[in-house]
Amino acid sequence: MMKKNWKVSGKILCFMLAMSFMLSGCQFKEKLKSDENKVSVASGSLEKQVSDADGKKGKYSLYLGEMENLTAAGEEVLSCTSNKPEVVSVSEDGVVHALKKGNAKVTAKVRPSEENDTADTRVYQIKVKKKGMVYPVFFMMKGEHLDLQFSLKDVHATWKSDNEKIAKVSKKGKVTALKKGKATLTAETEDGKTYCCSLQVTKRIKSVIYLTFDDGPNRYTTPKVLDILKKNNVKATFFELKPAKDDFDLTKRVIEEGHTLALHGYQHKYDIVYQSQKKYHDNLDLLRNLFFKKFGVWCTISRFPGGSSNTISKYNPGIMTKLAGKLHDWGYHYFDWNVDSQDAGGARTFGDTFKNFKNGLAKGRGNVVLMHDYDKNDKTIDALDQMIRYGKKQGYTFLPITASTDEVHHGVNN
Ligand code: ZN
């Protein structure tokens, strides 16, 4: 396998949802490929994987977030377009960026060398795998932090930011959002791949409500909660357990409607999950891996059964202190709550749930509201619409928790 340093001076357009990001100055190593079934076109020290006699078609399989230069040394790219810019974006000089799992066709007009003024048209088939960088395109609010992650094992990458005034990043990938604007973060891996992600830093929203629902999904409550959220155009966060065999469609709906899928655990049994650090770690990994396999969503946000302040785990002294200190090293974030609807406790009617919500809110902070997505939870279902209308009227913004949301933690009691 040959490698070559490659400098890209052009601009790369990334598209995701309705947003487009201008990137510039990405420097990367190109990983070269060979395949005995393909005709290898050599150009200088570079080899490209090209097949088909007439059209010079190339096939690439890229990890999410990975960049690849389609052309070889000395070649000039006259134009380059992608038929699915939300899956693979292209720069004018032939660098592709894998943004979303799927397939795309990139068409490039290339002049092979300076002496040669006939342009070739090449078509590249590009497959983007679901594994790779977890956040190829993302938003952060000013002041937030984020640990960049790979859904791949043992990736050792060195990160840098093209605009340290907007967002700085540590070599290991801890991002701090400093100022409103756009930045491009690139990583060089030890095996010669280049990953890139586009970050947009937005202004800080001060008074936020993060609605959270634990213990779902279930067939009675989840659809009703989702309908109310949809009607009000509000995104929330669902801390789920392993869905029952027939309930995966409910989790799918949570994802498709733009909510954050988060981990409560593969199971909820206190006497099992807090037996050891390994038991708890496995309880998160099993569910994260299951959701990734089923839906391609890499969940890093978690909530301890009973919260980090629970005392039910005291049968294993000190376990919560140990776990709270370990979760970040394991690649997880954890959220307790600072507003308790008490819908699994003291609230007897939907009026109680609403009152607990209303009395718990405070301006100028992120309000993480604890609610439950258990079977027949009419106390929350019947209060939810009123909660949202009240929150909006009071000037709060409803947001889903993201991997860069400031974590809300309780004091640990064990
Ligand atoms: Zn729970």
CA 160–ligand 1 middle distance (angstroms): 39
Residues in the chain, overall count? 414
CA 5–ligand 1 middle distance (angstroms): 51
Per-residue pLDDT tens, the chain, 414 aa: give them: 333 333 333 333 333 333 333 333 333 323 323 332 333 333 322 334 444 333 345 899 999 999 999 888 888 899 999 999 999 999 988 899 999 999 999 999 988 877 777 888 999 999 999 999 999 999 999 999 999 999 999 899 999 999 999 999 999 999 999 999 999 999 999 989 999 999 999 999 999 999 999 999 999 999 999 999 999 999 999 999 999 999 999 999 999 999 999 999 999 999 999 999 999 999 999 999 999 999 999 999 999 999 999 999 999 999 999 999 999 999 999 999 999 999 999 999 999 999 999 999 999 999 999 999 999 999 999 999 999 999 999 999 999 999 999 999 999 999
Helix (H, G, I), strand (E, B) or coil at 325: helix
Quote the pLDDT of residue 92.
Answer: 85
On whether the CB atoms of residues 14 and 172 are closer than 8 A, the answer is no
CA 372–ligand 1 middle distance (angstroms): 8
Taking residue 6's Cβ as centre, other Cβ atoms within 10 Å add up to 18
CA 261–ligand 1 middle distance (angstroms): 15
Q: Which helix (H) or strand (E) holds 141?
A: strand 137-141
Tokens of 362: 């405070």
CA 262–ligand 1 middle distance (angstroms): 12
CA 264–ligand 1 middle distance (angstroms): 7
CA 269–ligand 1 middle distance (angstroms): 9
CA 208–ligand 1 middle distance (angstroms): 23
**Which residues, chain by chain, have CB under 5 Å from ion ligand 1?**
214-215, 305
Quote the pLDDT of residue 71.
Answer: 82
CA 303–ligand 1 middle distance (angstroms): 8
Q: What is the dihedral of CA 297, 303, 304, 307, to 10 degrees?
A: -170
CA 62–ligand 1 middle distance (angstroms): 38
What single-letter DSSP state applies at residue 406? P
Quote the pLDDT of residue 331.
Answer: 94
On whether the CB atoms of residues 357 and 339 are closer than 8 A, the answer is yes
CA 364–ligand 1 middle distance (angstroms): 27
CA 335–ligand 1 middle distance (angstroms): 12
Helix (H, G, I), strand (E, B) or coil at 352: helix
Quote the pLDDT of residue 57.
Answer: 55
> Distance between CA atoms of 381 and 388, rounded to whole angstroms?
12
CA 143–ligand 1 middle distance (angstroms): 30
CA 146–ligand 1 middle distance (angstroms): 26
Residues 6+ apart with CB under 8 A from 347: 341, 353, 356, 379
Decide: pTM greater than 0.75: yes
Quote the pLDDT of residue 118.
Answer: 83
CA 414–ligand 1 middle distance (angstroms): 18
Give the C-alpha distances (Å, rounded to integers) separating 317 from 150, 305, 336.
33, 16, 20
Helix (H, G, I), strand (E, B) or coil at 393: helix
Q: How far apart are the first and last CA of the chain?
A: 53
What domains are there in the chain, each with its CATH number?
A: 57-131 (2.60.40.1080), 137-202 (2.60.40.1080), 208-398 (3.20.20.370)
CA 141–ligand 1 middle distance (angstroms): 29
Read off the amino acid at residue 75: E
CA 237–ligand 1 middle distance (angstroms): 14
CA 220–ligand 1 middle distance (angstroms): 17
Supply angle C-alpha 287, 291, 294, rounded to 5. 135
CA 316–ligand 1 middle distance (angstroms): 19
Quote the pLDDT of residue 48.
Answer: 40
Peptide bond into 112 cis (omega under 30): no
Pairing between strand 3-7 and 39-43?
Answer: unpaired
CA 140–ligand 1 middle distance (angstroms): 28
CA 339–ligand 1 middle distance (angstroms): 15
CA 202–ligand 1 middle distance (angstroms): 32
Q: What are the start-end ranges of the E strands in 52-101?
A: 58-64, 66-69, 76-82, 88-90, 95-98
As a 3-state breakdown, the chain gives helix, strand, coil percent values, each rounded to 5, of: 20, 40, 40
CA 387–ligand 1 middle distance (angstroms): 21
